[in-house]
Structure 1
Amino acid sequence: MKYSKYLVVFIALLSFGLASAEEGEEKRVVATVDADGVQRVEVLGGSYFFDPNYIVVKVNVPVELAVKKEAGMAPHNIVMKEPDAGMEFDETMGTKLIIIKFTPTKIGTYPVTCEKRFLFFKSHKDRGMKGVLEVVE
């Protein structure tokens, strides 16, 4: 009986690891500048996806990303490592919105990823939990 509990947990974790997102489906959002001069975008993370997964913002205009994850056991984060472009964060996503603030300083296309992974499985990024933040004039 003791081993059957462990088997159930292992099978549940295995099913999380084998589920995959539909790669290639682009969900694009162009941020608009609100009356207070800030660009705001909401991002939902979940079973190996970001929605939207392609965000366009203006250079040198403050951005607020409101991020959360869908309900579920799998942990997720949202990561960008572009300090030279004014964008560097690694935030754990929960079911309540958190606000990530930054001001992009360089035009370009930058990756956004989830770097979580289950032991012995591909990372969430490798399973499709990645996106793009494009900074334009």
Structure 2
Amino acid sequence: MKRNLLLAVLLLICSVVAVPAAEQDEFRAMIDKDGVQRVTVVGGDFYFHPSHIVVKVNVPVELTVTKDTLIVPHDINVHAPEAGIDFKVELSREPQVIRFTPTKTGRYPMYCDKKFLFFPSHREEGMEGVIEVVE
């Protein structure tokens, strides 16, 4: 009996891990009781998690951002002033809150623009994502 339960748990874990990363990495923000959409974003070595954030237009957003690396510097950038989203924040191990209210629907790239010497930029290495603003 215990063996069957262990096997079932292992199969469940494997099935979750087997889901493509793109499907796992979309986050649809919910509107809290205070009317704010809250999202936590973690930056690591060449990734953001989640990398696809979906928020509603004309509803305030609070992004809480951190990094999970000790030495390598990272930042998070979104430059879409036409949509009310425009920030560049250096990531640290301490959480920081970025506040904005998206005013226009669309897909807006977020990325890390750090680069070391002649190596590819962090964005070129895959440290990018998107904030998608919907109705």
Q: Under a length normalisation based on structure 1, what TM-score does the superposition of the two structures give?
A: 0.81
Rounded to whole Å, the distance in 1 between the matches of 2:113 and 2:56 is: 26
Partner of 1:81: 79
Partner of 1:112: 110
Partner of 1:34: 32
Letter in 1 for 2:39: V
1:72 positional shift: 1.9
Q: What is the correspondence of 1:98-137 to structure 2 with a 5 Å cutoff?
A: 98-137=96-135
Q: Give the ranges of 4+ consecutive aligned residues of structure 1 lying more than 4 Å apart after TM superposition.
A: none
SS of residue in 2 equivalent to 1:44? strand
Structure 2, unmatched stretches of 5+, are: 1-19
| Identical pairs, percent | 51
1:71 positional shift: 2.9
Among 11, 21, 33, the residue aligned to 1:25: 21
Letter in 2 for 1:25: A
| Cα-Cα RMSD | 1.0
Rounded to whole Å, the distance in 2 between the matches of 1:32 and 1:124 is: 29
SS of residue in 1 equivalent to 2:38? strand
SS of residue in 2 equivalent to 1:89? strand
Select between 47-56 and 24-33 the one with higher mean Cα deviation. Answer: 24-33
Residues 37-91 of structure 1 show CA distances to partners (whole Å, capped at 9, x for unaligned) of 0000000000000000000000000000000000321100000000010000000
Partner of 2:89: 91
1:25 positional shift: 3.2
Structure 1, unmatched stretches of 5+, are: 1-23
Q: Under a length normalisation based on structure 2, what TM-score does the superposition of the two structures give?
A: 0.83
